[in-house]
């Protein structure tokens, strides 16, 4: 007897795969959460005697500090926020509201894959396997871009924890991990990084202009603030932190310009719906 695959096409057969989505979602989330918390404070043990340097997630402060090394306070705040929002997403998957369950399950396979690949990145990153950890990020980037293109209009409580925040994180981590991978600390590499940093402006601006996605804009702006603080703390006389704060400001203002009209638009829509209900009320009473 063939069993339904919870990682099949998202909207086809979702109802019969709900149990699989629930189990896989919880397990992948707990796996990522547990190892992220553990390796934030404790380096993995080197039981096999490998020559690779084992360290905590933020254990590179005094080693391999590159032009893309951020403030670890900002990264911690970002991930605490993401974990909290992901708990909210999982709660909707167990809701009695069928609409909530359907919306949550629609992105379930991508959400599970993100957590598994993020766990793999943490596992490899803390063991200094830079090339393999970069590969995990690249695969995750493809996973999340595919998710975004297929489900760009998901509700906010799905979009933030399952789409926007994970995608922005992976985009940033690709450059951070990549800089460590090639030991980007020389003058020539830092000059190249001064050019590469503008990718974040192009990345977020694309989603702001094409999809009107202010959530990606604000998230990228926040990580640019973290990068600026991290770079300023180590190299006061440098261009990288100046560029980071410049990109942060541009994206924050651009995101506001996109977000504010959307807020008023939603308010107008709610007003129209309420007014329409009031107009129909006498007709319903007469009926």
CA distance 211 to 206: 8
Mean pLDDT of 31-48: 89
Q: What are the φ and ψ backbone dihedral angles of 9, each rounded to 5 degrees?
A: -55, 140
Checking if the pLDDT of 119 tops 70, the result is: yes
What pLDDT sits at residue 284? 46
Measured distance between the N- and C-terminal CA atoms of the chain, rounded to whole angstroms? 53
Q: How confident is the model at residue 62 (pLDDT cuts 50, 70, 90)?
A: low
Checking if the pLDDT of 134 tops 80, the result is: yes
What pLDDT sits at residue 50? 59
Checking if the pLDDT of 112 tops 70, the result is: yes
Mean pLDDT of 53-79: 88
CB under 8 Å to 229, separation ≥6 — which residues? 70, 71, 73, 74, 241
Checking if the pLDDT of 272 tops 50, the result is: no
* 227 within 8 A of 244, measured Cβ to Cβ: yes
User: Quick one: how far is CA 134 from the chain centroid?
Assistant: 16
Mean pLDDT of 248-267: 85
Mean pLDDT of 30-36: 98
Q: How confident is the model at residue 64 (pLDDT cuts 50, 70, 90)?
A: confident
Coil vs helix vs strand at 149? helix
Q: How confident is the model at residue 45 (pLDDT cuts 50, 70, 90)?
A: confident
* 150 within 8 A of 166, measured Cβ to Cβ: no
Q: pLDDT averaged over the chain?
A: 87
According to DSSP, residue 64 is labeled: S
- Other beta carbons within 10 angstroms of residue 146's beta carbon come to 12
- How far is CA 266 from each of CA 30, 152, 217, 255, 262, rounded to the nearest angstrom? 35, 17, 19, 16, 6
Angle at 266 between CA 265 and CA 267, to 5 degrees: 90
What pLDDT sits at residue 279? 53
CA distance 179 to 113: 25
Mean pLDDT of 50-65: 77
Q: What is the pLDDT of residues 210-224, one digit of tens each?
A: 999 999 999 999 999
Q: How confident is the model at residue 275 (pLDDT cuts 50, 70, 90)?
A: very low
- How far is CA 175 from each of CA 72, 80, 216, 235, 263, rounded to the nearest angstrom? 15, 21, 17, 18, 33
- Other beta carbons within 10 angstroms of residue 38's beta carbon come to 15
The residue among 184, 78, 84, 179 whose CA lies nearest residue 133 is 179
Residue with tokens 């690779």: 52
* 209 within 8 A of 185, measured Cβ to Cβ: no
Q: How confident is the model at residue 107 (pLDDT cuts 50, 70, 90)?
A: very high
Lowest mean pLDDT among 57-61, 178-182, 189-193, 246-250: 57-61
- Other beta carbons within 10 angstroms of residue 175's beta carbon come to 21
CA distance 194 to 172: 15
Q: What is the pLDDT of residues 140-193, one digit of tens each?
A: 999 999 999 999 889 999 999 999 999 999 999 999 999 999 988 788 998 999
Residue with tokens 């709660």: 91
Checking if the pLDDT of 86 tops 60, the result is: yes
What pLDDT sits at residue 251? 98
Mean pLDDT of 48-58: 76
């Amino acid at each position: 007897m063939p069993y339904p695959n919870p990682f099949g096409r998202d909207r086809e057969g979702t109802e019969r795969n709900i149990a699989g989505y629930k189990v896989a979602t919880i397990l992948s989330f707990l796996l990522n959460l547990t190892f992220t918390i553990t390796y934030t404070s404790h380096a993995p043990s080197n039981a096999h005697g490998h020559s690779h340097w084992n360290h905590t997630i933020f254990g590179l402060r005094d080693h391999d500090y590159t032009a893309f090394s951020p403030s670890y306070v900002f990264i911690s705040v970002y991930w605490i926020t993401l974990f909290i929002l992901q708990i909210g997403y999982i709660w909707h998957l167990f809701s009695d509201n069928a609409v909530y369950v359907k919306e949550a399950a629609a992105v379930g396979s991508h959400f599970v894959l993100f957590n598994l690949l993020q766990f793999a990145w943490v596992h490899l990153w803390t063991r200094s396997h830079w090339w393999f950890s970069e590969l995990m990020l690249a695969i995750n980037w493809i996973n999340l871009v595919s998710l975004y293109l297929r489900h760009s209009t998901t509700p906010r409580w799905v979009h933030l924890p399952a789409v926007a925040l994970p995608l922005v994180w992976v985009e940033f981590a690709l450059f951070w991990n990549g800089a460590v991978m090639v030991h980007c600390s020389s003058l020539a590499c830092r000059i190249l990084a001064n050019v590469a940093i503008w990718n974040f402006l192009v990345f977020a601006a694309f989603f702001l202009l094409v999809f009107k996605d202010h959530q990606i804009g604000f998230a990228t702006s926040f990580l640019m603030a973290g990068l600026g603080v991290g770079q300023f703390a180590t190299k006061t006389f440098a261009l990288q932190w100046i560029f980071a704060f410049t990109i942060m400001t541009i994206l924050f203002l651009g995101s506001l310009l996109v977000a504010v009209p959307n807020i008023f638009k939603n308010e107008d829509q709610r007003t129209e719906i309420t007014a329409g209900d009031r107009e129909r009320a006498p007709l319903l009473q007469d009926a």
